[in-house]
Amino acid sequence: MSGVPAAGPDHAIETRGLSLWYGAFQALFDVSADIKKGIITALIGPSGCGKTTLLRCFNRVNERYGNVRTAGEIRVLGESIYAPEVSLVELRKAVGMVFQRPNPLPISVYENVVFGLRVHTPRTELKRSVLDEAVEKALTEVGLWKDLKDRLNAKATTLLLEQQQKLCLARLLPLKPEVILMDEPASALDVGGTRAIEELMFELAGRYTIVIVTHNMAQARRASDECIFMLLGQVVEHSRTEDLFISPADPRTAEYIEGRYA
């Protein structure tokens, strides 16, 4: 977000006492967590534990569903995202999101990548050379340029699912996000596609802070630097992934990673 003061030296996202209600139902309870810059953090836990709800808090996407109320604080890149002066447009440019199923727009590959630029940039600044450069850079970052450079006019929905998901990620990059949220991004993919998305995450980490929700414990262990284990809307444990899987501090964490929770 432009003009945002720097966060703490290590943290891209900080939550303090965060609670959330959908109507009368409370989904999050007093969540406090610090997510470090430039690494991959996995949110894990059984279905219904609140991990996707927490992920969607970080760019306030939850508010699209209506009848949502929050208490507590979230700071992203040093700024309270609930401050009255915060622009949701700028927040969602800085904190991009990739969903479970690929959702490319039913237009060309080229126009998918530049869609955000066309929406957020004055037309006078959108020279063809600027758009061309943005497309090549974004597709190169997600590993699609070589395969798609001669298919830029192809309809995005005709691509393989793995390519569609990578394209959805490429669509975020011209807006220069600092945080990328990924809600089970490989759940619709086969083994090869899952491996490709994980490898892409490794390549993007460092340049971006990545937060991923996953039900796949093997994926969480392979693909994250830190894990946050959630249960019944609360954070139970947050540590380095290796530590959490090898020597969890809380017995509930041990029960989950050993398969004793649904």
Alpha-carbon distance of 49 to 242, in angstroms, equals 22
Q: Flag whether pLDDT at 39 surpasses 80.
A: yes
pLDDT of residue 3: 37
Beta strands in 168-259 (DSSP E): 179-183, 209-213, 226-231, 234-240
Cα–Cα separations (whole angstroms), residue 262 to 20, 146, 215: 23, 41, 10
Edge-to-edge, what's the strand order for the sheet holding 11-22?
25-36, 11-22, 68-76, 79-80
pLDDT, average across residues 76-92? 93
Question: Could you tell me how far CA 243 lies from the centroid of its own chain?
Answer: 23
Please name every residue paired with 183 in a beta bridge, in sequence order, or none if there are none: 213
What confidence category does residue 9 fall into, taking pLDDT thresholds of 50, 70 and 90? low
Q: What angle do CA 204, 209, 210 make, to 5 degrees?
A: 75
Q: Flag whether pLDDT at 4 surpasses 80.
A: no
**In a 10 Å sphere around its CB, with 0-12 CB exposed, 13-18 middle and 19+ buried, how is residue 9 labelled?**
exposed
Write the CATH number of the domain with boundaries 11-100+178-257: 3.40.50.300
* Domain range summary for the chain, segments of one domain joined by +: 11-100+178-257
Look at the pTM and tell me if it is higher than 0.85.
yes
Per-residue pLDDT tens for 164-209? 999 999 999 999 999 999 999 999 899 999 999 999 999 999 999 9
